[in-house]
Structure 1
Amino acid sequence: MFHPSALFLLVICSFLVSVTSVERAASLTKVSIYYESLCPDSIDFIRDELFPNYEALKDRIFIDFVPYGKASQSKSSNGEWLFRCQHGSPECRGNKYQACALAQKKGQDANVNFVSCVMSSADPSDSEEIRNCAVSNGFDWQVISLCYQGDRGNELLAQYGTRTHSLNPKLRFVPTIIYDDVFDQTLQNESLYYFVKAVCSKLSQPLPNICRKN
């Protein structure tokens, strides 16, 4: 049985850890990436800008993946979600698989590594490529597969669609990168080729070492 003072200290410590976690989350710069699984520009950004620089920036940013892009969605007469994607049904498949994987909430490192792996593969819409990337990064493929095949996958993709269609201004280019929920055209343009510079411009002191090199 806990001594009252020991129990009190445990409660205080738990509270302090919780407060620290909240404060840390609030201090991170949110980077929302609105992208498509088969979009060449999305592939280039994630493969050439996000992934190579992520390790040096990860302690200061929160990555928010939104796999949907210039798709559209509607419901059939029987209430099923229907999606049309810019690069055809294979892209819808790739988007939905990624949505199902991200729903496992494996953490930012796992998410970035998984998405980067898929987007750097020979075919980001191929289930075998996606499975390999999922398993190698600690995701449960059976859960992803069941999600994709069932209603859950459609609901997740529709939620990303709602977010994307609610953007102000409307999404006009894929990928669109938004910082702290506010679109800035200058930062958007810069992010595509100078991601580190764009991120560093949003950070407070002290800056990560990589910011001093760019």
Structure 2
Amino acid sequence: MSPYLKLLFYLSGISFAVSFEIDYSNPDVVEYDSNSQIEKTEKVDLRVYYCSFCGGCVYFHTKQLDPTLKKIGSYIDLKNYPYGLTTRYKKHGKIYFDCAHGPAECHGNKLHACAIDILKNTTQSEFYNSCMMNSTWGGEGSSDKDAINCGKLMRIDSKPIIECANSERGDAIMEYYGIETDKVTNPKNKHMPLILLNGKEFNRAKDLMKTICQTLTKPPPECKSYF
């Protein structure tokens, strides 16, 4: 079976070792954006600091964040920061990055950062980046190959995202996410993913959907089972 067909089964609910339940090929799950002005609803502020190769980050995005976004995304103001436990330095005017899982992760982080920058839709970029992280096509995930295949699946042009990740623009965006990550990390929370829900650290071992539902003053019907 080809990798593409495998993914279609994979996203249809057939059980695989690391399968998840979001159908990334369905445009209905990406038609809204967390910053949409269509309706004014109460929103929780959710900020996720992560890196593309981190196993805990992959699990949180695919198993917790994406299913929650699909159900109550209009109640979440999401901001992603794909930088993680990366260090950066400048040499001869050029910026360089050392990532926790090596150069391939740095490229993966840049792909994620460029997708956020280019797509300009929080929900769409989240699902696209999660699709890349899932490593359905082999390897560690979040590679150019993943970017291309996830682009085909979601009808997203991956070419400008890949070009951005290999350019000075990608470096500049990564530097921005590094500065933002540095603002919130300290020796006590130097781990990834670092998840802030309304400014307070969220323990990813807890149920994200349940926590958000119980945080909202007027939770939607989708939250009924948590009360």
List 4+ stretches of structure 1 deviating above 3 A: 168-171
SS, match of residue 96 in structure 2: strand
Partner of 2:50: 35
Equivalent position to 1:21, from 29, 32, 37: 37
Residue 84 of structure 1 aligns to which amino acid in structure 2? D
SS, match of residue 34 in structure 1: strand
Partner of 1:8: none
SS, match of residue 142 in structure 2: coil
Partner of 2:25: none
CA contact (8 A) 1:110 1:138 kept: no
CA contact (8 A) 2:52 2:105 kept: yes
Answer yes or no: is 1:141 the counterpart of 2:158. Answer: yes
Residue 95 of structure 2 aligns to which amino acid in structure 1? W
In structure 2, distance between residues paired with 1:113 and 1:23:
22
In structure 2, distance between residues paired with 1:88 and 1:193:
29
> Structure 1, residues 117-170: CA drift from partner, whole Å, max 9, x if none?
112224323210122113433433221122112100000011000000111656
Answer yes or no: is 1:115 the counterpart of 2:126. Answer: no
CA contact (8 A) 2:110 2:165 kept: yes
SS, match of residue 174 in structure 1: coil
CA contact (8 A) 2:147 2:162 kept: no
> What TM-score results when the alignment is normalised by the length of structure 2?
0.75
Between 78-87 and 141-150, the greater mean CA deviation after superposition? 141-150
Give the 3 Å change call, closer, same or farther, for CA 129–79 of structure 1 in structure 2.
Answer: same
Answer yes or no: is 1:212 the counterpart of 2:227. Answer: no
> Structure 1, residues 168-204: CA drift from partner, whole Å, max 9, x if none?
6564121111123x133xxx21x44411122123212
Partner of 2:88: 73
Pairing of 1:1-214 with structure 2 (within 5 A): 21=37, 24=40, 27-76=42-91, 78-122=92-136, 123-167=140-184, 169=186, 171-180=189-198, 182-184=199-201, 188-189=202-203, 191-205=204-218, 207-214=219-226
In structure 1, distance between residues paired with 2:75 and 2:170:
30
% identical equivalent positions: 27
Residue 210 of structure 1 aligns to which amino acid in structure 2? E
In structure 2, distance between residues paired with 1:86 and 1:178:
21
Structure with greater helix share of residues: 1
Residue 195 of structure 2 aligns to which amino acid in structure 1? I
Please identify the structure whose Cα radius of gyration is greater: 1
In structure 1, distance between residues paired with 2:67 and 2:39:
27
In structure 1, distance between residues paired with 2:169 and 2:159:
14
Between 48-57 and 136-145, the greater mean CA deviation after superposition? 136-145
SS, match of residue 62 in structure 1: strand
Residue 223 of structure 2 aligns to which amino acid in structure 1? C
> Structure 1, residues 92-115: CA drift from partner, whole Å, max 9, x if none?
110011111110134233122202
List gaps (5 residues or longer) in structure 1. 1-19
Residue 170 of structure 2 aligns to which amino acid in structure 1? G
CA contact (8 A) 2:48 2:193 kept: yes
In structure 2, distance between residues paired with 1:213 and 1:85:
41
